């Protein structure tokens, strides 16, 4: 890939960028009737799951094979990919975001099965991805003939400002250290970070560890000194709202 530095352990993220939030955690009460435990930050408002009850733990992705987990993504075939692309394009227009740089480099963190790879490629972007799951990473690599690094994002050594755009589409809610993962995306981006996350009320999804709102993203952008386009929130399917945002690095 050329821009990922494989010969070092990578930079110390906490010394490379500001911190999204120092977090003042308080126990977050819920009415779910199960022992799942949550904490809410008084400062930025993000909610973090700290304990998964046995009922929800039994429903997590790691209880299924990769193919089983991603099977639903193939039900609609290409039309579903097109739907995701249209939803994203609509949100970008609504927030009046700058166009992604044609001919520029893009890194997608947590690409899954690459629903938006055709859209990125059609936009003239040089696409690279990082994906934890070997099956999904191999699928994207073989289906679209693009480079995919198969390892956890936190383990990928990468140079500061290595890519014009860093994209994360429904990834942050799945990792246990979402704030640190986002800081690393900002560090790796030369111009923009494109972020898509579910809206915060979706706290009962067994695979989600973080719950976001538009205000959380506003606070994180301000704390990191980023210009924020959006956020735009849309109801994609029944009982699932999605937040779209573009963060722009401002000149030093």
pLDDT tens digit string along 67-92?
665 565 554 444 557 788 999 999 99
Q: Give the SS3 label for residue 29.
A: coil
- pLDDT score for 89: 94
Categorize the per-residue pLDDT at 32 as very low, low, confident or very high, splitting at 50, 70 and 90.
low
Q: List all residues 6 or more positions away from 107 whose beta carbon is below 8 Å from its beta carbon.
A: 128, 129, 130, 162, 163, 165, 166, 167, 188
More confident residue, 148 or 235: 148
**Distances from the Cα of 171 to the Cαs of 27, 96, 200, in angstroms?**
24, 23, 14
Q: List all residues 6 or more positions away from 72 whose beta carbon is below 8 Å from its beta carbon.
A: none
Mean pLDDT of 150-174: 95
Categorize the per-residue pLDDT at 145 as very low, low, confident or very high, splitting at 50, 70 and 90.
very high
Mean pLDDT of the chain: 85
DSSP type of residue 3: S
- pLDDT score for 21: 96
Mean pLDDT of 40-67: 76
Categorize the per-residue pLDDT at 147 as very low, low, confident or very high, splitting at 50, 70 and 90.
very high
Residue 34 has pLDDT above 80, yes or no: no
E-strand spans in 110-225?
A: 126-130, 148-149, 163-169, 189-198, 210-211
* Cβ neighbour number for residue 179 with a 10 Å cutoff: 20
Least confident of 89-98, 121-130, 201-210: 201-210
Residue 200 has pLDDT above 80, yes or no: no
Categorize the per-residue pLDDT at 177 as very low, low, confident or very high, splitting at 50, 70 and 90.
very high
Mean pLDDT of 15-39: 82
54-63, 77-86, 116-125, 198-207, range with greatest mean pLDDT:
116-125
Mean pLDDT of 126-132: 97
- Kindly state the percentage of the chain with pLDDT values over 90: 63
* Rounded CA separation 181/192 (Å): 15
DSSP type of residue 212: B
- Kindly state the percentage of the chain with pLDDT values over 70: 78
- pLDDT score for 107: 98
Q: Cα 207 to chain center, whole Å?
A: 14
Q: Is CATH 3.40.50.150 what the domain over 13-22+76-205+212-249 is classified as, yes or no?
A: yes
């Amino acid at each position: 890939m050329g821009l990922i530095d494989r010969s070092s352990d990578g930079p110390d993220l906490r010394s490379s960028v500001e911190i999204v939030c120092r977090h003042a955690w308080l126990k977050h009460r819920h009415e779910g009737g199960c022992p799942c435990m949550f904490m809410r930050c008084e400062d930025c408002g993000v909610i973090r799951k700290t304990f998964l009850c046995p009922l929800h733990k039994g429903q997590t992705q790691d209880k299924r094979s990769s193919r089983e987990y991603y099977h639903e993504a193939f039900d609609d075939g290409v039309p579903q990919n097109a739907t995701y692309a249209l939803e994203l394009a609509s949100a970008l227009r609504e927030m009046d975001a700058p166009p992604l740089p044609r001919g520029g480099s893009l890194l997608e963190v947590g690409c899954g099965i690459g629903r938006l790879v055709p859209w990125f490629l059609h936009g003239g972007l040089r696409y690279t991805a990082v994906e934890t799951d070997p099956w999904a990473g191999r699928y994207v690599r073989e289906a679209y003939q693009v480079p995919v690094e198969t390892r956890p994002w936190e383990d990928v050594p990468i140079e500061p400002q290595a890519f014009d755009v860093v994209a994360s589409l429904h990834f942050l809610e799945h990792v246990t250290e979402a704030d640190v993962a986002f800081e690393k995306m900002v560090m790796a981006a030369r111009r923009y970070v494109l972020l898509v996350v579910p809206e915060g009320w979706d706290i009962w999804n067994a695979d989600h560890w973080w719950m976001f709102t538009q205000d959380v993203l506003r606070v994180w952008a301000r704390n990191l000194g980023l210009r924020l386009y959006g956020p735009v929130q849309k109801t994609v399917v029944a009982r699932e709202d999605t937040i779209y945002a573009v963060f722009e690095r401002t000149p030093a």
